[in-house]
């Protein structure tokens, strides 16, 4: 998956759009794999309608719920942020003159982190388990006739 992310960018996201009067509330959560990194992002936008860049038809066509997109080639690292992090945490809050307020947070880490957590760490747990089993076998072999557990007769 880490190597694949250099050729394809995967976006798994959940969107929720609610409209009340002249306000549009758009909540967007996304997990992204790109360029050997994983990004977890939340974005909350509040728009005053009518929106200067989106028509009513485009707003109505925003997909609600879960979706998965796969884009070939390179993708942007910005996710709409002015200065996104290469690795680590990032946050940004924007308010422009058109009445659009956007607040977002992102955490980015390399693919090596989940590989360590979900691949290498369980391997060490298995090794410790096997070591404990061997130790118990050796102790049982030493005590095969119960010699060590008998009281010494004076």
pLDDT at site 32: 82
**pLDDT score at 73:** 59
- Residue 81 has a pLDDT of 58
Domain ranges of the chain: 4-110, 114-143
Asked if residue 117 lies in contact with residue 46, where contact means CB atoms within 8 angstroms, the answer is no
Q: Which residues of 41-73 are buried (b: 16+ CB within 10 A; e: fewer)?
A: bebbbebeeebeeeeeeebeeeeeeeeeeeeee
Nearest 5°: the CA angle 51, 56, 58 is: 95
Q: How many CB atoms lie within 10 A of CB 76?
A: 10
Residue 121: which H helix or E strand, with range? helix 121-142
Rounded Cα gap, residues 24 and 8, in angstroms: 32
Q: What is the mean pLDDT of each run of 10 residues along the chain (154 residues)?
A: 64 87 86 80 84 77 84 59 66 77 84 80 89 88 64 52
């Amino acid at each position: 998956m880490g190597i694949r992310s250099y050729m394809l960018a995967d976006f798994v996201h959940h969107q929720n759009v609610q409209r009340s009067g002249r306000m549009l509330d758009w909540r967007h959560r996304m997990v992204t794999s790109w360029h050997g990194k994983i990004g977890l992002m939340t974005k909350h936008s509040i728009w005053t309608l009518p929106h200067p860049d989106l028509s009513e038809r485009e707003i109505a066509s925003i997909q609600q719920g879960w979706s998965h997109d796969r884009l070939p080639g390179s993708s942007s690292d910005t996710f709409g942020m002015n200065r996104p992090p290469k690795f680590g945490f990032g946050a940004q809050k924007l308010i422009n003159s058109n009445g659009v307020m956007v607040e977002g947070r992102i955490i980015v880490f390399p693919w090596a982190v989940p590989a360590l957590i979900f691949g290498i760490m369980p391997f060490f747990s298995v090794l410790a388990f096997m070591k404990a089993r061997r130790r118990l076998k050796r102790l049982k072999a030493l005590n095969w006739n119960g010699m060590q557990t008998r009281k010494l007769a004076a």
